[in-house]
Amino acid sequence: MLSLFDLFKIGIGPSSSHTVGPMRAAQRFADVLADLPDGPLEKDPARIVVTLYGSLALTAEGHGTIKAVLLGLAGETPEHVDPETAKKLVHHIESTHLLNLNGTSFSFDYQNDICLDTGTIPPIHPNTMQFEAFARDGTLITRQRFCSVGGGFITPEDQARTMSYSLPEVPFPFRSGAALLAHTRQQNTSIASIMMANETATRPLWDVERGMDRITETMLSCIEAGLHNTDTLPGPLKVQRRAAKLYARLQAKTNTAPSPHGVMNWISLFAIAVNEENAAGGRVVTAPTNGAAGVIPAVMRYYRDFCPEYSKDGLRTFLLTAAAIGGLFKLNASISGAEVGCQGEVGVASSMAAAGLTAALGGTPEQCEHAAEIAMEHHLGMTCDPVAGLVQIPCIERNAFGAVKAINASSLAMSDDSGAHYVSLDHVIKTMAETGRDMNHRYKETALGGLAVNVPAC
């Protein structure tokens, strides 16, 4: 199984595949250079050339990929970089054409040294990038190629074809929903308990609980930030944030007659607040991606604010259960919009949230699996067609719909005590993977089809 901390990673916006992944790859390449024998950069400052292919090249500007590469080469990591510090560092590199890599400063003209190759079709994964370091005489020092495979995960290109993962040994391994449910029946316990047993096989209980609480706090803090920020989102669309105005409007209605859409309006607001923060490059949690980062926090906030069953332990149960479901999608299909469309991002997030909420409300493992299946079943075939290559339209509103669908899926699953249903979670995961493979590449995060071409970008 994948760890909860593999799926929920604290980073910055706007994209896990196009920002977080490339930053990790660039930082790893910087480490590779530092570990080379005789320290070639220290003795002979080199030229670095970065080539972005496929979806990374097509939406590089809108997804912040160029800035992410600069930050990664400068040694920053998504988990620790401060969003405001990041902006200043990128501005410094762009204005001075100087990059400090492992203590060595050398010329780096990002407009010439970062190449956007939109013509070459990457052989293995649409999110492929190449890093090359050259000595002053033009000799190639080293070349590294990475794939950003969704949710901030990266892998060397030569390993991406097999998509094999080196997973730790745990007491209750599972690679299918059926195997997960079998563990819960054999142990007479919950999905969350199975996940916790696996997590604590590799780290202390206190560390797992502290990590989960930090993830939850970051998610909820992101909502709060989004409720109060009013600036225009970056990019050519000049999208004006809506969350703060929606928040003021809903607060004003608190003392009036309740609206039949009241709770749903709050859920949508929470999701929009997070994804506006993400679009602005703020601090978010990949859940399981940045483009879908608003779904799970919105449903968690709904659980906290509107459900009498709420408890802090319930939030942990929510996260553990959601992580179990997300791991199944990651291992058996994909969470990359460039690979399977938005069904792999908002669809997976909605499925994770539906299972997590069901567990937090006291649902059985079978009901959790059913809720996850329902939520994904009704996201099958969802394309990824960001207007102007930005994670704004339709992505922000799409998170609101994903959150509402998750709650509806949970309600439907919990209304059936039998747990019997025709379509299993494993069936729907397999179908999602097949649908993604069949989907035309123009509708998979390339901004070459759908709304991205039918809506004027300027």
Q: What is the mean pLDDT of residues 98-111?
A: 83
State the pairing for strand pair 283-286/128-134.
unpaired
Per the DSSP assignment, residues forming a β-bridge with 101 are 104
* DSSP per residue, 350-416: HHHHHHHHHHHTT--HHHHHHHHHHHHHTTTT--B--GGG-SSTTHHHHHHHHHHHHHHHHHHHHT-
Query: Is pLDDT above 80 for 102?
Result: no
Element (H, E) at 295: helix 295-306
Own/partner long-range contacts of 105-112 (Cβ < 8 Å, ≥24 apart): 105/45, 106/41, 106/45, 106/46, 106/47, 107/47, 108/48, 108/73, 110/66, 110/70
Chain segment 365-397, per-residue pLDDT in tens: 999 999 999 999 999 999 999 999 899 999 999
Break the chain into its structural domains and give their ranges. 15-159, 177-443
Chain segment 252-281, per-residue pLDDT in tens: 887 666 677 789 999 999 999 999 999 999
pLDDT value at residue 43: 47
Chain segment 277-303, per-residue pLDDT in tens: 999 999 999 999 999 999 999 999 999
Separation in Å, CA 454 to CA 261, 383, 385 = 31, 14, 10
Query: Is pLDDT above 70 for 458?
Result: no
Chain mean pLDDT for the chain: 92
- Considering only CA atoms, which of 418, 321, 450, 336 is closest in space to residue 375? 321
CATH of 177-443, one of 1.10.287, 1.10.3470, 1.10.4100, 1.10.10: 1.10.4100
Task: Say whether 12 sits in a helix, a strand or coil.
Answer: strand
- Least-confidence region, from 15-29, 156-170, 217-231: 156-170
Under a CB-based contact definition with an 8 Å cutoff, are residues 447 and 65 in contact?
Answer: no
pLDDT value at residue 106: 78
What letter would DSSP give residue 219? H
* Greatest mean pLDDT among 42-46, 97-101, 257-261, 397-401: 397-401
The confidence band for 330, taking pLDDT boundaries of 50, 70 and 90, is very high
- Considering only CA atoms, which of 129, 52, 135, 62 is closest in space to residue 291? 62
Q: What is the mean pLDDT of residues 214-239?
A: 95
Q: Quote the CA–CA distance of 298 and 268 in Å, as a whole number.
A: 7
- Considering only CA atoms, which of 338, 328, 305, 244 is closest in space to residue 21? 338
Chain segment 61-90, per-residue pLDDT in tens: 888 899 999 999 999 999 888 888 888 999
Under a CB-based contact definition with an 8 Å cutoff, are residues 155 and 147 in contact?
Answer: yes
Q: Quote the CA–CA distance of 409 and 376 in Å, as a whole number.
A: 9
Q: Quote the CA–CA distance of 124 and 158 in Å, as a whole number.
A: 9
The confidence band for 38, taking pLDDT boundaries of 50, 70 and 90, is low
Architecture of the domain defined by 15-159: 2-Layer Sandwich (3.30)
Under a CB-based contact definition with an 8 Å cutoff, are residues 146 and 53 in contact?
Answer: no
Q: What is the mean pLDDT of residues 195-223?
A: 97
